[in-house]
Structure 1
Amino acid sequence: MCCVAGLSPPLQLKSKAKLSKCVKLLGLPKKDGEVPARTRCWVAGWGMKAPNSHAEHLLQEALVHMVDQKECADSWQKYFNHSHMMCSSTSQGKGFCQGDSGGPLVCNTKLQGLDAYTSQDCRNRAYPQVYTRVSAFLPWIKKVMGRK
């Protein structure tokens, strides 16, 4: 996976998934939870592995490391909103790319973020990869899920 994430249709299962050793639920983060810089996290998706390549047929995953939010703001400037966004660096040129939009950022078994955007060349380490911060939307998520 790896770049400016493109739109893809949502994955929809024909029936409920059976939970098992390999299929588990992800927890939600704490309200206003921060993920410290250098935390190891995982992204997954069926998007491209490199710019202008093809979408994958098998689900891919990649290890990423969270970066300091100041570094992210310095790189993206007016396009970065700390209260709603967070960033990671690519690991050995791997991360999310076109077609991975909305994919999960998982840190310590919690869904911390959703793939939002990255540079045109998704392997470019000069621009951190940006995620929507799930904790910023917990009230809305809980309302939609029927929890208060």
Structure 2
Amino acid sequence: MKVFVVLALLVASASAGLLSSPIGAGEPIHPRNLPAVLVQREGVEGRITNGNDASEGQFPYQVGLSFTSSSGGWWCGGSLISNKWLLTAAHCTSGASGVTVYLGATVRTSPKATYSVTSSSFVQHKSYNSVRLSNDISLIQIPAVSLSAYINVIELPKISSSYSTYSGQTAIASGWGLVSDSATAVSSKLQYAKLAVITNSVCAKTYSSLVVTSNTICTATPSATSTCSGDSGGPLALDGVLIGVTSFVSSAGCESGAPAGFVRVTSYLDWIKENSGVSY
């Protein structure tokens, strides 16, 4: 599962010294900001490489997000957490003037419902830092949607889960995108991949403890299976519970074998409740 995005590399120069990789596996970077040389330019920035095709209704909480801005557009993922709120990454909402939300889609271009909202419906974390990749989380409000077998919410973790590292457990990341780095067209079908959660101490050996904090979850990416651009903001789910939001990969590429990074949802349960009313 890959998440390559087509916008310019915004943070590399600012973070090169601060966030250098201890083992030379590339700098941590939001998938949306991967260098264009690594990206297949197909108009959307989506990617889950070496994943599996999802069946209709398998991930009813998955949403597709087509963002617009004065300088162009980009594609991200998100998770429906109530009938009118969804959770995504701050690096997806950052700089956008609006978004079209695709709900209940397995084939990317055939959603069960769509809504278009402006940036006034975004609640981006005020402390989001694009250099340290911290607080990379946003909420988007949409008109109330009717829930069904194809459009449904995902459960937020319980506050008691805040003490769990999830290490050694297998979670599922999902999203749309190219099926390989050499593909010339984005995937039309929703993809998913099973990824093993690793300890933050192992992940920090690649990205440093400045990036990998207690607010982070990391997964291994064996066999070139990873999140990448377009998967940005999408869900990492464990037993039907949303534990992570797709946030960063290595600037060496999503097939580099470096860990994939996610925002840890348990760290933001109070923030979610305060800004949306959705409680755990």
Give the TM-score taking structure 2 as reference length. 0.47
**Higher relative contact order, chain-length normalized (CA < 8 Å, sep 6+):** 1
2:275 alignment counterpart: 144
What residue identity is the alignment partner of 1:8? W
Change in Cα spacing, 1:80 to 1:49, as seen in structure 2 (3 Å) is farther
Question: C-alpha offsets along residues 54-100 of structure 1, whole Å, 9 cap, x if unaligned?
Answer: 43221111111101111011110144232211100124321211211
Change in Cα spacing, 1:18 to 1:101, as seen in structure 2 (3 Å) is same
2:170 alignment counterpart: 40
1:68 alignment counterpart: 199
More moved, 96-105 vs 86-95: 86-95
1:27 aligns with 2:27: no
Structure-2 separation of matches of 1:146 and 1:18:
18
1:122 aligns with 2:254: yes
Contact 2:165-2:199 at 8 Å conserved across structures: no
* Structure 2 counterpart SS, 1:58: coil
1:101 alignment counterpart: 232
1:47 is displaced (CA, Å) by 2.9
Structure-2 separation of matches of 1:18 and 1:3:
28
1:18 alignment counterpart: 147
More moved, 79-88 vs 96-105: 79-88
Structure-2 separation of matches of 1:2 and 1:90:
10
Equivalenced residues, count: 146
Structure-2 separation of matches of 1:101 and 1:17:
25
Question: C-alpha offsets along residues 81-131 of structure 1, whole Å, 9 cap, x if unaligned?
Answer: 322111001243212112110010001111000111111321222x21000
Structure-2 separation of matches of 1:8 and 1:98:
8
2:223 alignment counterpart: 92
Change in Cα spacing, 1:29 to 1:121, as seen in structure 2 (3 Å) is same
Structure-2 separation of matches of 1:47 and 1:78:
30
- CA-based RMSD of the aligned residues comes to 2.4
1:8 aligns with 2:139: no
Q: Give % identity.
A: 24
Change in Cα spacing, 1:144 to 1:29, as seen in structure 2 (3 Å) is same
Give the TM-score taking structure 1 as reference length. 0.83
- Which structure has the bigger radius of gyration? 2
Contact 2:218-2:259 at 8 Å conserved across structures: yes
Q: Please, which runs of 5 or more residues in structure 1 have no aligned partner?
A: none
